[in-house]
Structures are given as C-alpha cells and as structure tokens.
C-alpha cells in the first residue's frame, strides 16, 4: 500500500514515502544522523525501525539490519523493509506482500567513488515501473539538494502510477549535519496525513521548508539597482530603515526567514519571496 525511497547522499540520510494510507509519516520512516535510515511498510512493524538502527549502531550492515528485523518475525512475509547505512543498503519484500510488490537496493557512485546508496520499495503498486521510475529520477537528480532528490524520486513514482488504490498520505524525513532550524541536523520532517494529492502537497511544503530553514544561497549585495529595488519593496510593505539591512531583517523576521539572513546581502529565495509579496504593491 506504499512506495518509498530510503537513501544516503554523502552525510545526509532520509526517507520519502507516499501511500493510500493516512498518517504514513508516523509509521514508515525513521532516520538517525550519522548512522542510517529505515522504512517499514506493507504490514508495517514499527518496531523494525529501532531494531534496524540498533543493528547498524552495533556495527552491522544494512543486510544485517534486515535480518535482525525479519528472522525472528513470524509475519515477515507480510512485511516490507528498506534500510540504508553509512556504507550499505538492503531491501526486503515478503512473499505474501500484495502485488505488485518489490524493490531494489544499490550503491550510488560518482567518478568511480561510492557517494551514497538507496533502497526503493513498494507494494500494491500499479507495477514495477513505479520503482524503476523512482530509481531513474534519483540518479538523474545527482548534485541537487538532498531533500529535492528524495522528492524527485517520490514524485516520479507517483507519476508512474504509484499506489494502485490512490493517494492519501506522504512524508519526507531527512537529516544532514548542521542542517535545519537550529542547525542540529534535521533537514526536513514533513508529513501530509490526509490529502487527495498528498505527494504534490508534500512538494509544496518541502519548498517552504527550504525557504524557512535553509542556509543563505546566491547572496547578492544590497547595492545599486538591486538595493534600490529591495528598499522600495520593503517600504511598500511598511518596513524602512538605515542601513537597508535593518528593514530587511525586520521584514524577514516577521516572515520567519531568519535562517536565510546574510550580512553580505539578500538571499535568492528571500528576494523571490519579497518580489512575490510586493508584486502588486511595488514596481521599481
């Protein structure tokens, strides 16, 4: 009833999942910074998440983690599991999972060097093309931000038909050193619990998450024509100050963009948000 990707890219680990099942984000994914990521699905056993991560923490690889979960479990043939560790990946599909069900697990290399790995799996899917499309999208997105890569794979699976019963829940949970609201490592923790277009709604919130919690990027100095434009747009919203950065900081704080403030100018995403907010109010 679910399709997911569990992946590592460098030091980032994460899971993206979608299903015709509400609250899928509370059941399927678990990620531990510096260690690995897990997805438990089909007749999901939530306890698999801790068992798999503990196996990785104890020095086992992803295959050992799968074995630690499934070997003592009499209902393993009804379950599905994906695990990615620091240097390994594995997927499990029980023989009684409802068709179509299956998965793949492979390392990812760039220029002959292993840079990550992924496990992609699903059950009650329209066919194997869902998993195949997800793998192609993951590989084609190399070099993009990690959360965007996970999302690209999930959306590709959805576009290929996804869960044969439809859409309802989706989630993306990812960690990376120094990422997130207080730079403690949570890159994204987003759940769509009951929505008719859950993967697309997830995509919208992944973009918002990046805007609110991402580090500054493509910073341009507040000088010349750009400085004039930013000053006019901020004034149209009721924010003025000298130097201009005072007004920018006041507006950005109101909109919760503090993570993207830079002493060197204005972040590209903040600039885009400012332009959108003043599309009618100011035309420099």
Domain ranges across the chain: 2-213, 224-277
Give residue 281's pLDDT: 64
- pTM comes to 0.93
Fold category of 2-213 in CATH:
3.60.20
Per-residue three-class SS string for the chain: CEEEEEEEECCEEEEEEEECCCCHHHHCEEEECCCEEEEEEECCCCHHHHHHHHHHHCCCCHHHHHHHHHCCCCCHHHEEEEEEECCCEEEEECCCCCCCCEEEEEEEEECCEEEEEEEEEEECECCCHHHHHHHHHHHHCCCCCHHHHHHHHHHHHHHCCCECCCCCEEEEEEECCCCCCCCCCEEEEEEECCCCCHHHHHHHHHHHHHHHHCCCCCCECCCHHHHHHHHHHHHHCCCCCCCHHHHHHHHHHHCCCHHHCECCEECHHHHHHHHHHCCCCCCC
Give residue 282's pLDDT: 47
Give residue 213's pLDDT: 94
Low-confidence stretches of the chain (pLDDT beneath 70): 1, 281-284
């Amino acid at each position: 009833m679910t399709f997911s990707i569990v992946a590592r890219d460098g030091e980032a680990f994460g899971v993206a999942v979608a299903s015709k099942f509400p609250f899928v984000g509370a059941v399927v994914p678990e990620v531990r910074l510096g260690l690995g990521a897990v997805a438990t699905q089909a007749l999901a056993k939530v306890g698999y998440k801790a068992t798999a991560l503990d196996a990785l923490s104890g020095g086992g690889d992803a295959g050992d983690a799968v074995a630690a979960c499934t070997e003592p479990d009499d209902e393993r043939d009804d379950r599905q599991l994906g695990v990615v560790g620091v240097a390994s990946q594995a997927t499990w599909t029980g023989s009684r999972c409802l068709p179509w069900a299956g998965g793949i697990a492979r390392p990812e290399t760039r220029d002959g060097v292993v840079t990550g790995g992924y496990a992609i799996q699903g059950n009650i899917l329209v066919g194997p093309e869902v998993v195949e499309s997800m793998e192609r999208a993951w590989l084609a997105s190399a070099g993009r931000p990690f959360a965007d890569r996970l999302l690209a794979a999930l959306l590709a699976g959805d576009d290929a038909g996804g869960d044969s019963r439809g859409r309802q829940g989706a989630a993306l949970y990812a960690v990376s050193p120094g990422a997130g609201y207080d730079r403690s490592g949570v890159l994204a923790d987003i759940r769509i619990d009951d929505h008719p277009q859950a993967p697309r709604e997830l995509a919208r919130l992944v973009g918002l998450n990046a805007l609110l919690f991402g580090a500054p990027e493509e910073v341009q100095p507040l000088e010349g024509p750009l400085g004039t434009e930013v000053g006019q747009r901020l004034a149209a919203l009721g924010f003025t100050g000298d130097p201009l950065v005072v007004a920018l900081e006041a507006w950005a704080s109101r909109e919760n963009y503090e993570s993207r403030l830079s002493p060197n100018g204005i972040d590209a995403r903040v600039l885009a948000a400012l332009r959108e907010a003043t599309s009618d109010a100011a035309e420099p």
